[in-house]
Chain A
Amino acid sequence: MNGDKIIEINSLSKNFKDLRAVNSLNLNVFEGDVFGFLGPNGAGKSTTIRMLLSLIKPSEGSIKLFGKTLEKNRIEILKKVGAIVEKPDFYGYLSAYKNLEILGRISGKEISKNRIMEVLELVGLSKRFKSKVKTFSHGMKQRLGLGQALLHNPDLIILDEPTTGLDPQGMKEIRDLILHLSKDQKKTIFLSSHILHEVELVANRMIIINKGTTRVEGYVQDLLNARKLSVSFEVNDEEKTYNLLAQTGWIKKLESRAKTVFMFMLENNEIAELNKYLVENGIAVSAVIPTRSLEDYFLKITDEVV
């Protein structure tokens, strides 16, 4: 935690007729956080983001941004927030520049022509600033979406699936941009993504929700370190390896095997220990592949019955 609470959500719920999309959600985002907001499709992520941006009204609970109640201080708060909500849509019959100019004029701050061009440059669209948005690919619209979120230099940036539709290079650029905004410009970033690996790479804190409810919240590293790792060992002799394991307690940690690949659930410090044991007993280990990731954790958490 770096500083003041930038987002404070308490007992937030949203009902759509019989469907409870968000159910008593609590979360806190602190100044300077890159906060990962994870959950499977239909978990209530976008509904929560829409409530954060006053696109929809909560059925119950409260939202505070920058220490102020959203409902009563909406305009003042939104001056300090930039956002992409789901897929970015623009006025297709207008140019990228005009779209940003229009959005800039209602952003509560003076946005100069230079600033618009600077943002277009930042998201790699400066050469297409005159082109109508209807001629843009999905990836280009996504970049422009990021541009409009950054246009008025907000303190809090809410990004809902910002890399959807981007190629690997584009995804990396967005990831680098998020890190740059966080580290160099000290922005607070609320990042919703289904690409869990990305959250792992950029977020310092995260929450996993499912069926509108918090499943786990905390520091990314703490959450990952608290987990056992799934590690695959590729060996040269299947039978000998199995017999060796059977003679010791290692067999209990064996999760599965497929021919010469043995998969274990291990603590972090056990990987080297097992490797040493196998090698010292004449087994050639050709590969040790840890598959620890947020994704495993995410899948496990979201598979659990709420």
Chain B
Amino acid sequence: MLTLIQIELYKIFKKWRTYIGFIAIGVLVPIIHIAMVFEGSNTLNFMTRNIQQSFVFVGNLLNGYLVSYLILTSLAVHIPFLIALVAGDLLAGEATAGTYRMLITRPVSRTQIITSKYLAGIIYTNLLILWLAFMSLVVGIIIFGTGELLVISNQTVIIFEKSDILWRFLLAYGFASLGMSVVASLAFLFSSLVENSIGPIVGTMAVIIVFIILSAINIDFFQTIKPYLFTNYILSWRLFFDDPVDFAELTKATLILLGHIAAFFSITLFLFKRKDILT
């Protein structure tokens, strides 16, 4: 199995499309950093416009933590696309290239093939989130320094002390990895159904966008189905920036996301083991 995972990772990182995600984050995050250097004060003023009458802010609030928090918030839709770009190609890419035949006629089980490809996709996903964490948090701290983190949640202002922030980011990025693993699992499932990687990428994004829109519509019916949409839990990393942290809600979100991962992977495995390879 380890050999298969190594091979899959080798194949992933030999493809140009794999680096699109890393390059996109490597370009986009510094652009946001540069913008924050020039416009960060205005952004901070805008964020605190309703409470400036009541509070006096001192210290370095425009710091690496705040910038990283804002970046994490704003990339909710973009990162899934970068994930789907690779995860959607894992199986469909083999079908397009016709290499399924070479792979499946080797003495390895289909379960091993699917599992190794899936794990390689999850490793890529986590590396991408790690890269995002490095670019936004580490580079952000280098440029803007550290300080207290100001978060406005549900009209409530929360200011975290400098010593109380890093663990929240570590867990938040960990949770973001879990959320993106659901996206990777969905793209992987779609990838097993078709012979062209465009379909899984578009399909995954369509599901995410539709679910996000449905969650945002303030109509009773949509609010009723909201708890059943996995996108509703992908952004639960924000709960780490509440005070106190609602661990019960986080546990529920974690279990729901893990359930989605298990379900998407199981369906993929079930379908692939019965699939006739005709490409």
Contact = CB atoms under 8 A, between A and B. Distances in A.
Interface string A76-101: 11110101011111111110000000
A67 interface: no
A108 B101 contact: no
B98 interface: yes
A165 to B, nearest CB: 14
B14 A93 contact: yes
A53 to B, nearest CB: 5
B22 to A, nearest CB: 17
Contact of A91 (B11, B105, B274): B11
Interface in B239-279: 274, 276-278
B49 interface: no
B104 A55 contact: yes
Nearest to A84: B101
A50 B97 contact: no
Contacts of B274: 57
Interface in B1-52: 3-4, 7, 10-11, 14-16
A75 interface: yes
Nearest to A53: B105
Nearest to B16: A93
Contacts of A50: 276-278
B153 interface: no
Given A76-B107, A78-B107, A93-B14, A103 B101 contact: no
Given A75-B109, A87-B98, A54 B104 contact: yes
Nearest to B14: A93
A31 B3 CA distance: 33
A56 to B, nearest CB: 4
A90 B4 contact: no
Contact of A85 (B3, B105, B106, B276): B105
B101 A107 contact: no
A105 interface: yes
Contacts of A163: none
Given A50-B277, A105-B7, A83 B97 contact: no
A89 B99 contact: yes
Interface residues of B, number: 25
Q: DSSP majority for the A interface?
A: loop
Nearest to A56: B276
Contacts of A77: 107
Interface residues of A, number: 31
Nearest to B104: A55
A110 to B, nearest CB: 12
B107 A75 contact: yes
Interface in A36-70: 50, 53-57
B56 interface: no
Interface string B63-101: 000000000000000000000000000000000011111
Nearest to B3: A105
B48 to A, nearest CB: 50
A270 B56 CA distance: 116
A293 B276 CA distance: 36
A103 B106 contact: yes
B157 interface: no
A54 B100 CA distance: 12
A15 to B, nearest CB: 11
Interface of A: 50, 53-57, 74-79, 81, 83, 85-94, 102-103, 105-108, 148
Interface of B: 3-4, 7, 10-11, 14-16, 97-109, 274, 276-278
Given A55-B276, A56-B278, A93-B15, 16 more contacts: A53-B104, A55-B100, A55-B104, A74-B107, A75-B109, A76-B107, A85-B101, A89-B98, A89-B99, A90-B97, A94-B11, A102-B10, A106-B3, A106-B7, A106-B103, A108-B106
